[in-house]
Structure 1
Amino acid sequence: MVTTRDRTLLEGVRQEVRGLREVLDSAEDLWSARIGEVDEQHADNAVNLVHRWALRQYDLGGLWARLATLGLSSLGRREAPVRAGLEAIERAAGALAGNPAARDAFAYAGFVPGPDPVRYNASALLGPEPYGRAVRIMVTLPSEAATDPAVVRALAARGMDLARIDCAHDDPGAWARMAENVRRANPACRIVMDLAGPDPRTGPLAGGPRVVKVRPHRDAAGHVIAPAECTLTADESPVPPAIPVPGDWLARRRAGEVIELRDGRDARRELVITAAGAGKALVSLEKTAYLTTGTILRVPGEVPVPVGSLPAVEQFLRLRRDDLLLLTRDRVPAPVPPRGTARIGCTVPEVLAHVRAGDTVRLDAGRISGVVEDAGVGRIAVRITATGSGGGTLRAGNDIHLPDTPIPVRAPTATDLEHLAFAQEHADLVALSFVHGPEDVDELHAALERLMDRRLGVLVQIGTAQACERLAGILLAAMRRPVTGVLVDSGGLAVECGDERLAEAQEEILWLAGAAQLPMIWARQALGPAPPRAECVLLDEGPHVVEALDTLDGILRRMADRRGRKNALLRRLRSWQAGQPGP
């Protein structure tokens, strides 16, 4: 029997839900231009995305609790049609209250089981689900994949479903060879060209001394347990610790000979040849030696010869808390000072003109953090606020993150647009890195239209704070292409948003992408806790990538029958509230 108190509660729920339905109408009006631009196959999902965005502007925890008390829907399913869910709740509440009209109209429209649109979209974008697991694996190809087909065959044999070519490294010739090796290893494996985007990094540092340090192996007490070894070679550009020497002199060397020298510290040393032949000689020594360009090598009875040109030792800046670092617009190799203020250039100098005093700067994947003390002409002064224990090391090519700064340089860059023609010929998908707003996605689509391309799938990478703030607009822009998806760079988000907000940002991306029925690729930390919903995970290159791929494949297969979506308490979404919540 329905009591008066129950009817009051039910009527309150009906009125609250009716108000939320009006919010949906207003949201459709707000986003009407973007909704009208999406591909027809995404039309309903675009509207549902906007509805979910509108609903999540409010804290629905109280309503959730009342619905749970009444045994009605909690609204907590990410992919459920929002409007149909609200209408069903309103009708159910009316029916429970004894309203004849509501009881007659009660239906579960919008909840009829059918094909999973996310799985359909994922198959179109990423290829069919692999046998035995629903989640695909994308692997970033190392540079060796261009010259060693066996590397690609090993990855394909262990479960690589998509091969990612990072356009921030190597060159088009190497990319073409990588793509060819992938096609030969597994024609079904899809190829992703990841455009570099506007990726600010530290500029070059002045080269260090041209020296190779060779030292014996010692135990914990400092005793020599094995002599030092290095190779003398006729190659003029060897990889250290190989030492270049004149070829005709090297051809006369024999095992057992002793080579005398004075190293870079003027210390006497002896190299004993243990093996020789084929343009190389293996030598050993009992004491540490510093061999420099021009070090004179002597063999009794022969004319002394110099060591050839050695590469300069890679330099780095040692930074500690409270140090001052100057980030400059020039790209001249910066000197490494023994002490005092350090400086280093920025590879995208335009961004520095928009940095303000008080902005946060994070370097080297967030290992070094600082705050801008002064934003002057041509440079910014950063006071270091956090490093690892013992200080941080900043090298050339380390990433620069400016989470508080509006980035003026858009993605795709001019270089990215040049690479699109290559992607059109060799790839199945193109990924756009460092997306900051829907305008970036619009520019990529315009470039693809100029190429008259409707074949390439498109991935938009979410890895910046600004992308989180404008996520709804970015996703709607992405849905202009029939085959599209989202790549979540959790590593970049951790640096941009901070570890304390990473989980919140990721959850909110899951909500909106799920409402849009877009497939998701989870990048970084692939072997960590599994994301609540991902159709693909990205495994980065590394020295043990084959073993990691084997492990990940096994994990995903064992978890295949446990994968599902969880409900949430529907607190207000916040990641994009600090920026532009509208189109």
Structure 2
Amino acid sequence: MKEKEWNELQSLYQGMQALRQAVYEEGNVLYAEWEPGISRTSFQMSAKNLAYYLALRSRDIRPLQSKLSKWGLSSLGRTESKVLQQLDAIVRNLALMSGEIKQLADYPKASEKFPGRKKLATEANALLGDPPKYRTTRIMVTLPEQAAEDKAFLVRLLERGMDIARINCAHDDSAVWLKMVGNLKEAQHITGKSCRIYFDIAGPKIRVDAVLSEKDKPRLKVGDLFFLSSDTSFKDLKHYPIIVFSESLNLFDALKVDSLVILDDGVLEGRVVEQKPQGVVVQVGKVAKPKGIRVKAQKGLNFPESTFRMPILTEKDRQDLLMAERNADILGFSFVRGSKDIAAIQKTLMEQIGNEAATAIPLVIKIETVEAVNHLPELIVAGASKNPLAIMIARGDLAAEAGFLRLSELQEEILWICEAAHIPVIWSTQVLENMVKSGVPTRAEMSDATMAGQAECVMLNKGEFVEEGITLLDAILVQSQQNRSKKTAQLRALKIAKKAWRKPKK
């Protein structure tokens, strides 16, 4: 080896040693902050690995990656599930290559062994159920009201590949939900297939409750003004042709002038231009259609630049929980923003069903706000410290708050952080949406569904062609897992390569 190359290796070896030690020390400090609150012992090792991962990813390691790749070593691109072991393996190989040691046995091994992806698979199986033998990603389906009356419909869903049935508590009522549960259990008996039942508690979503206008079908376009209020007695149509009411917004103090207002998952964007005692005046800045959009009740409202102090569980949610916990295999919670919300959920469950039952039930935390993303590690630690936990990437509200450009990378960042904590992920919102609603998929959603295969579960929403959607998603997931496992490319034999290297004809 030339002296220049040897010096490069020595420098790289020393740099990796320093990185490994810094990650170890910083990770241990962070884990020490979490440890007192971790009562679920099976999460301890995962929490420690998460702490190491956060310490590693707090640095820009791109220059180091290129140097490692030059020498044919791991470039640290797949360290999520067992951070310290990956760093130790690289350091040991560099020690051997640079002549610091004569054989690998001479180098001390890592003090702890982390289970890696096997631990993630174990957690996913325990929470989401075992996947089919022929694919690793489960399929969740949101049940329509039809499931309460049509048992044969549920039989078909199971036969096509549904692994988890989602009951959305934002729609229908407990009587309908109980019929769905009863029919699903009978359908499982008929088909011999198992299916987890996931109750999705609605949570404090801010929605349009009513729209007041002299027009039958009020529309808003760029430049238009509308009044946003929680006061249903406010009816000044002379000055404000369209008044949008939302009773959830009983505190408008959080909406200052220039605060961003988003309607219907980003279909409309506006800014507050004036504050009034009864609410705020909003000017439309963007709409999805040049001719404007209809303003309707029940559409969602988002305020990504404002903070509303709303209880994580409404009174309706508490009532729904009383029924859901008796029938659900998994409970999901919406609009969780920080660890205090997790604590409130866990406390409510303990009060209603007792400590032992409360800590045994698996929870799903839906990530749908920028605030939740910013607090993702603490949400994971707070939830998984006491309960089996999964994370749902709820891309509708998240896209509205973060923007589509940021969403494209947030999806992957959430996957990486969850893998580091050995927490399963559910990929949701608008998966094969055109297919489920019209029967014809778009090219873009085929690619999106393929990427969704990196998660432990993918959710389909209800639609007229949901049965065909399950069949298509099943085929996509089976095919994609042959090519990729998480961030790792699976190098199966390529047909193109085989054809290129076939023997020429004589």
* TM-score bracket for the superposition, by shorter chain length: 0.7 to 0.9
Structure 1 residue 206, shift from structure 2 partner: 5.2
The yes-or-no answer on 1:33 pairing with 2:39 is no
* Inter-partner Cα distance in structure 1 for 2:23 and 2:360: 37
User: Alignment partner for residue 461 of structure 1, among 360, 366, 386?
Assistant: 366
Alignment of 1:96-111 (within 5 A): 96-100=97-101, 104-105=106-107, 107=109
Structure 1 residue 15, shift from structure 2 partner: 3.2
Structure 1 residue 548, shift from structure 2 partner: 1.6
Structure 1 residue 102, shift from structure 2 partner: 9.0
* Inter-partner Cα distance in structure 2 for 1:50 and 1:320: 47
User: Alignment partner for residue 185 of structure 1, among 187, 190, 201?
Assistant: 187
The yes-or-no answer on 1:373 pairing with 2:273 is yes
Alignment of 1:477-496 (within 5 A): 477-496=382-401
Alignment of 1:427-438 (within 5 A): 427-438=328-339
* Inter-partner Cα distance in structure 1 for 2:15 and 2:195: 52
Secondary structure of the 1:186 match is helix
Partner of 1:200: 206
The amino acid that maps onto 2:18 is R
Given that 2:230 and 2:249 are in contact with CA atoms closer than 8 Å, whether structure 1 keeps it comes out as yes
The amino acid that maps onto 1:193 is F
CA separation of 1:546 and 1:8: change in aligned 2, threshold 3 A:
closer
The yes-or-no answer on 1:321 pairing with 2:235 is no
Partner of 1:562: 483
The amino acid that maps onto 1:559 is S
The yes-or-no answer on 1:539 pairing with 2:460 is yes
Alignment of 1:495-510 (within 5 A): 495-510=400-415
Given that 1:485 and 1:520 are in contact with CA atoms closer than 8 Å, whether structure 2 keeps it comes out as yes
Secondary structure of the 2:211 match is coil
User: Alignment partner for residue 347 of structure 1, among 235, 242, 247?
Assistant: 247
Secondary structure of the 1:518 match is coil
Higher strand share: 1
The amino acid that maps onto 2:469 is A
Partner deviation per Cα, 1:315-361 (whole Å, 9 max, x = no partner): 543001011111101245979x6995421111311353312222211
Partner deviation per Cα, 1:68-120 (whole Å, 9 max, x = no partner): 11222211114341122223323332332222499511658878998722221
Aligned sequence identity (%): 31
CA separation of 1:375 and 1:150: change in aligned 2, threshold 3 A:
farther
**Bigger mean CA deviation after superposition, 173-182 or 23-32:** 23-32
Given that 1:319 and 1:393 are in contact with CA atoms closer than 8 Å, whether structure 2 keeps it comes out as yes
The yes-or-no answer on 1:425 pairing with 2:326 is yes
Q: TM-score, normalised by structure 2?
A: 0.84
* Inter-partner Cα distance in structure 2 for 1:31 and 1:362: 38
Q: Which has the larger radius of gyration?
A: 1
Given that 2:13 and 2:95 are in contact with CA atoms closer than 8 Å, whether structure 1 keeps it comes out as no
* Inter-partner Cα distance in structure 2 for 1:338 and 1:130: 61
Partner of 1:396: 297
Partner deviation per Cα, 1:283-330 (whole Å, 9 max, x = no partner): xxxxxxxxxxxxxxxxxxxxxxxxxxxxxxxx5430010111111012
Partner of 1:511: 416
Secondary structure of the 1:533 match is coil
* Inter-partner Cα distance in structure 2 for 1:371 and 1:524: 26
The amino acid that maps onto 2:399 is A
The yes-or-no answer on 1:358 pairing with 2:359 is no
Structure 2: state its 5+ residue gaps: 433-444, 490-506
Partner of 2:69: 68
Alignment of 1:31-180 (within 5 A): 31-38=31-38, 39-100=40-101, 104-105=106-107, 107=109, 116-180=118-182
- List, as ranges, runs of 4+ consecutive aligned residues in structure 1 with deviation greater than 6 Å: 108-115
Given that 1:137 and 1:159 are in contact with CA atoms closer than 8 Å, whether structure 2 keeps it comes out as yes
Given that 2:227 and 2:240 are in contact with CA atoms closer than 8 Å, whether structure 1 keeps it comes out as no
* Inter-partner Cα distance in structure 1 for 2:249 and 2:81: 45
CA separation of 1:554 and 1:419: change in aligned 2, threshold 3 A:
same
* Inter-partner Cα distance in structure 1 for 2:142 and 2:243: 32
**Bigger mean CA deviation after superposition, 319-328 or 537-546:** 537-546
Partner of 2:496: none
* Inter-partner Cα distance in structure 2 for 1:97 and 1:366: 55
Higher helix share: 2
Secondary structure of the 1:541 match is coil
CA separation of 1:98 and 1:416: change in aligned 2, threshold 3 A:
same
Structure 1 residue 374, shift from structure 2 partner: 2.4
**Bigger mean CA deviation after superposition, 95-104 or 137-146:** 95-104
* Inter-partner Cα distance in structure 2 for 1:106 and 1:2: 28
Given that 1:136 and 1:536 are in contact with CA atoms closer than 8 Å, whether structure 2 keeps it comes out as yes
RMSD: 2.7
* Inter-partner Cα distance in structure 2 for 1:166 and 1:533: 24
* Inter-partner Cα distance in structure 1 for 2:480 and 2:162: 18
Secondary structure of the 2:65 match is helix
**Bigger mean CA deviation after superposition, 366-375 or 106-115:** 106-115
Structure 1 residue 149, shift from structure 2 partner: 2.8
Between the two structures, name the one with larger relative contact order (CA 8 Å, sep ≥ 6). 1
Q: TM-score, normalised by structure 1?
A: 0.74
Secondary structure of the 1:205 match is strand
The amino acid that maps onto 1:33 is E
Secondary structure of the 1:349 match is coil
* Inter-partner Cα distance in structure 1 for 2:90 and 2:337: 37
CA separation of 1:24 and 1:418: change in aligned 2, threshold 3 A:
farther
* Inter-partner Cα distance in structure 1 for 2:92 and 2:251: 54
Partner of 2:440: none
The amino acid that maps onto 1:198 is P
* Inter-partner Cα distance in structure 2 for 1:11 and 1:415: 62
Given that 2:363 and 2:387 are in contact with CA atoms closer than 8 Å, whether structure 1 keeps it comes out as no
CA separation of 1:385 and 1:318: change in aligned 2, threshold 3 A:
same
Partner of 2:497: none
Given that 1:41 and 1:482 are in contact with CA atoms closer than 8 Å, whether structure 2 keeps it comes out as no
* Inter-partner Cα distance in structure 2 for 1:101 and 1:119: 37
Structure 1 residue 155, shift from structure 2 partner: 2.0
CA separation of 1:51 and 1:114: change in aligned 2, threshold 3 A:
closer
User: Alignment partner for residue 525 of structure 1, among 430, 433, 447?
Assistant: 430
Given that 1:167 and 1:196 are in contact with CA atoms closer than 8 Å, whether structure 2 keeps it comes out as yes
Partner of 1:385: 285
Partner of 2:442: none
**Bigger mean CA deviation after superposition, 99-108 or 386-395:** 99-108
Structure 1 residue 382, shift from structure 2 partner: 1.2
**Bigger mean CA deviation after superposition, 136-145 or 100-109:** 100-109
Structure 1 residue 432, shift from structure 2 partner: 0.7
Residue correspondences, number: 462
Secondary structure of the 2:399 match is helix
CA separation of 1:113 and 1:438: change in aligned 2, threshold 3 A:
closer
CA separation of 1:325 and 1:12: change in aligned 2, threshold 3 A:
same
* Inter-partner Cα distance in structure 1 for 2:3 and 2:420: 37
Given that 2:27 and 2:48 are in contact with CA atoms closer than 8 Å, whether structure 1 keeps it comes out as no
Structure 1 residue 497, shift from structure 2 partner: 0.7
Secondary structure of the 1:98 match is coil
Given that 2:453 and 2:480 are in contact with CA atoms closer than 8 Å, whether structure 1 keeps it comes out as no
**Bigger mean CA deviation after superposition, 439-448 or 405-414:** 405-414
Partner deviation per Cα, 1:183-236 (whole Å, 9 max, x = no partner): 111152111110111100012235999xxxxxxxxxxxxxxxxxxxxxxxxxxx
The yes-or-no answer on 1:18 pairing with 2:18 is yes
Secondary structure of the 2:322 match is helix
* Inter-partner Cα distance in structure 1 for 2:86 and 2:116: 16
Structure 1: state its 5+ residue gaps: 210-314, 569-583
Secondary structure of the 2:227 match is strand
**Bigger mean CA deviation after superposition, 512-521 or 183-192:** 183-192
